[in-house]
């Protein structure tokens, strides 16, 4: 029952990775245990053939994220994919304020 831990690169969707695995493994029966968007990099767990029966149990596991932010630029898409449409002088708030805001992102999140 093959299970693969794939290091998903920037720019590919989870579906792109599954499609490549299907071609490489010569099977249509490939699934993943949780979607990573194209801007995310990291481990994408793939199950092939009979191990696809395990996906329903494995996808219930939690995910952890590590994020970087860039201050002083805005895009029409509100993410790093859009062209920069505005720039502003960015000043960093004090560490206590950063920790206060980041605390709201800790724990389970509904997406």
- Cα gap 16→94, rounded to integer Å: 41
Is 94 known to be catalytic? no
Catalytic residue (choose from 16, 37, 61, 94): 37
Burial string for 43-79 (b: 16+ CB within 10 Å, else e) reads ebbbbbeebbeebeeeeeeeeeeeeeeeeeeeeeeee
Q: Three-state SS for 37? A: coil
Q: Annotated active-site positions, please?
A: 37
């Amino acid at each position: 029952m093959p299970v693969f831990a794939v290091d998903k690169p920037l720019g590919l969707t989870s579906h792109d990775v599954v499609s490549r695995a299907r071609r490489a493994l010569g099977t249509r029966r490939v699934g993943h245990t949780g979607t990573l968007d194209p801007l995310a990099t990291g481990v994408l767990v793939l199950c092939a053939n009979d191990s696809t029966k395990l996906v329903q149990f494995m996808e219930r596991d939690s995910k952890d994220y590590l994020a970087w932010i860039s201050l002083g630029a805005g895009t029409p898409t509100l993410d790093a994919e859009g062209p920069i449409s505005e720039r502003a002088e960015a000043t960093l708030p004090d560490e206590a304020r950063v920790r206060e805001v980041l605390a709201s992102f800790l724990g389970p999140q509904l997406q």
